[in-house]
């Protein structure tokens, strides 16, 4: 249980970092920020080093070979558009997703112990839950595979079984504690 | 297609096959191709509605993101209903759009569509002409819906008056389906329908 929590936290902070990093990329676009492989001392050398670097006008970002994973809140958010409003929409979407991931972190994860006599299935993938699998508990006490429910919650903050809004219940739990 | 979509559809297909409704012949489902991306559904018109006795065929397309997004469903059989386009068969139903939930299945979608046939929502129409007739001239709506059920879905009620008016327009060289659509839209007023077609 502890290990599951730990691994998940790392995943979430990594996701949040990628989203944050993505935002920065948008903000500095067009500022011609210089990036070079030489160290900072080169900046102290005066004009000649600057001249050598003028071709490196595009910011280059590396994520250690990982493609940054980008989530879209709904299919209707267009990212093909290159107008500034589309960028704004895109950014708003990313902020919304980041908030969602923050909320989802508060939903407890456990391992399925199979104690109930009746076998239960994850209604999202329709596969039976097997003992030892990581499951996420929603406030309505419906349980799902962590991967399945996280994918769903990124699209809609409701329980797929009873349609109970997940964020509302979380906010109430904040109030009472 | 994504693995989860295929495995879900396979399980749901079996669920429909095992369901009570299939025994009662009220819903049916079949595969269109081998890739499980497109299916054909069939629902029986519910009793005590103008669709009673008819069999309505549906086109079901399963998106790659299923079950996180709803299946795309439309009527192939033409139908006269406020929430279904009489031209394209497009459906206005909340669960096929914003209110979709991952726990819903092909079976619940088919049953929901059957329920939609029994309880139209004229205030949230897909076909404005049908919705207007439903609200303004309900008797005429019932007649038109029964006539369409008879013409396209094998329903039992025939209306010789409707048939003769359609025949009159056919004699003028109008396609039968176009004639039926225009007459239905013009509340079976032959003069107005003719005017609409030839002006």
Last residue of a domain, one of A80, A105, A130: A105
| One domain, residues A82 and A4 | yes
Q: Angle at which helices B176-185 and B138-153 pack, to 10 degrees? A: 170
| One domain, residues A90 and A112 | no
Number of residue pairs across A and B with CB atoms under 8 Å?
A: 32
Query: How far apart (Å, rounded) are the C-alpha atoms in residues B15 and B33?
Result: 19
Last residue of a domain, one of A44, A78, A105: A105
**What spatial distance separates the first Cα and last Cα of chain A, rounded to whole Å?**
23
| One domain, residues A50 and A137 | no
Q: What is the CATH number of the domain that holds A170?
A: 3.30.40.10
Distance from CA of A156 to the nearest CA of B (A): 9
Kindly indicate the confidence band of residue A70, based on its pLDDT and cuts at 50, 70 and 90. low
Give the pLDDT confidence score for residue B108 in this predicted structure. 94
For the segment A94-128, what is each residue's pLDDT rounded down to a tens digit?
Answer: 888 888 888 888 889 998 887 765 668 899 999 88
Within 8 A of B103 by CB-CB distance, chain A residues are: 123-124, 160-161
**What spatial distance separates the first Cα and last Cα of chain B, rounded to whole Å?**
49
% chain A with pLDDT above 90: 14
- Mean pLDDT in residue range A62-87: 54
A155–B11: do the CB atoms touch at under 8 Å? no
| One domain, residues A120 and A89 | no
| One domain, residues A48 and A76 | yes
Report the residue of B66, B101, B106, B112 to disrupt the A interface, i.e. the one with the largest count of A CBs within 10 Å.
Answer: B101
- Mean pLDDT in residue range A37-55: 45
Q: B73 pairs with which residues across the strands? A: B60
Question: Which residues of B carry out catalysis?
Answer: 92
Give the pLDDT confidence score for residue A140 in this predicted structure. 87
Q: Which pTM was predicted?
A: 0.72
| One domain, residues A91 and A138 | no
B102–A127: do the CB atoms touch at under 8 Å? no
CB atoms within 10 A of CB B18: 10
Distance from CA of B45 to the nearest CA of A (A): 28
CATH code, B3-118: 3.10.110.10
Into how many domains does chain A fold? 2
Give the pLDDT confidence score for residue A135 in this predicted structure. 92
Domain span holding position A148: 107-177
A158–B8: do the CB atoms touch at under 8 Å? no
Query: How far apart (Å, rounded) are the C-alpha atoms in residues A59 and A48?
Result: 21
| One domain, residues A92 and A124 | no
Query: How far apart (Å, rounded) are the C-alpha atoms in residues A20 and A14?
Result: 10
Give the pLDDT confidence score for residue A3 in this predicted structure. 46
| Segment (H or E) for B27 | strand B27-31
Q: Which of A124, A127, A158 faces B67 most closely, judged by CB atoms?
A: A124
Distance from CA of A113 to the nearest CA of B (A): 22
Report the residue of A75, A76, A125 to disrupt the B interface, i.e. the one with the largest count of B CBs within 10 Å.
Answer: A125
Query: How far apart (Å, rounded) are the C-alpha atoms in residues B41 and B27?
Result: 7
Within 8 A of A77 by CB-CB distance, chain B residues are: none
Last residue of a domain, one of A89, A105, A121: A105
Enumerate residues 6+ apart whose C-beta is below 8 A from B144: B80, B133, B162, B184, B188
* Spans of chain B below 70 pLDDT: 1-2
Ordered by start, the domain boundaries in chain B are 3-118, 128-198
Share the mean pLDDT of chain A.
65
Tokens of B45: 């018109």
For the segment B115-144, what is each residue's pLDDT rounded down to a tens digit?
Answer: 999 999 999 999 999 999 999 999 999 999
**Model confidence at A24: pLDDT above 60:** no
| One domain, residues A36 and A98 | yes
- For chain B, the farthest-separated pair of C-alpha atoms sits apart, in whole angstroms, at 57
The answer to whether B51 touches A165, Cβ cutoff 8 Å, is no
Give the pLDDT confidence score for residue B3 in this predicted structure. 83
Kindly indicate the confidence band of residue A26, based on its pLDDT and cuts at 50, 70 and 90. very low
Give the pLDDT confidence score for residue A94 in this predicted structure. 85
Left, alpha or beta for B25 (phi > 0: left; psi -120 to 50: alpha)? left
| One domain, residues A52 and A128 | no
A151–B68: do the CB atoms touch at under 8 Å? yes
| One domain, residues A6 and A67 | yes
| One domain, residues A101 and A121 | no
| One domain, residues A128 and A147 | yes
């Amino acid at each position: 249980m502890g290990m599951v929590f730990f691994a998940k936290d790392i995943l979430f902070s990594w996701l949040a970092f990628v989203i944050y990093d993505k935002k920065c990329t948008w903000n500095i676009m067009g500022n011609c920020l210089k990036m070079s492989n030489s160290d900072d001392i080169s900046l102290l050398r005066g004009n000649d080093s600057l001249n050598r670097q003028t071709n490196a006008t595009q910011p280059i970002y590396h994520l250690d070979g990982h493609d940054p994973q980008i989530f879209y809140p709904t299919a209707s958010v267009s990212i093909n558009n290159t107008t500034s409003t589309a960028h704004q929409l895109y950014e708003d979407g990313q902020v919304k997703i980041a908030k969602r991931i923050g909320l989802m972190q508060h939903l407890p994860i456990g391992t399925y112990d199979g104690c109930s006599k009746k076998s239960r299935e994850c209604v999202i993938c329709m596969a039976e839950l097997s003992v030892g699998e990581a499951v996420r508990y929603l406030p309505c006490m419906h349980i799902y595979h962590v991967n399945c429910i996280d994918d769903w919650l990124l699209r809609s903050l409701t329980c797929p079984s009873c349609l109970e809004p997940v964020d509302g219940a979380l906010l109430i739990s904040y109030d009472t504690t | 297609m994504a693995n989860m979509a295929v495995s879900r559809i396979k399980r749901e297909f079996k669920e429909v096959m095992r369901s009570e409704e299939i025994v009662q012949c009220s819903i049916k489902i079949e595969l269109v191709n081998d890739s499980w991306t497109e299916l054909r559904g069939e629902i029986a018109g519910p009793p005590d509605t103008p669709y009673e006795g008819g069999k309505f065929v549906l086109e079901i397309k399963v998106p790659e993101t299923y079950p996180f997004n709803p299946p795309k469903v439309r009527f192939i059989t033409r139908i006269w209903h406020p929430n279904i386009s009489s031209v394209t068969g497009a459906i206005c139903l909340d669960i096929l759009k914003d209110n979709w939930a991952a726990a819903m299945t092909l079976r619940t979608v088919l049953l929901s569509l059957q329920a939609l046939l029994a309880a139209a929502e004229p205030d949230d129409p897909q076909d404005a002409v049908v919705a207007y007739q439903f609200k303004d001239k309900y008797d005429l709506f019932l007649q038109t819906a029964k006539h369409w059920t008879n013409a396209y879905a094998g329903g039992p009620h025939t209306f010789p008056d409707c048939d003769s008016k359609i025949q009159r327009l056919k004699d003028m060289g109008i396609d039968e389906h176009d004639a039926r659509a225009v007459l239905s839209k013009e509340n079976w007023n032959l003069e107005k329908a003719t005017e609409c077609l030839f002006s």
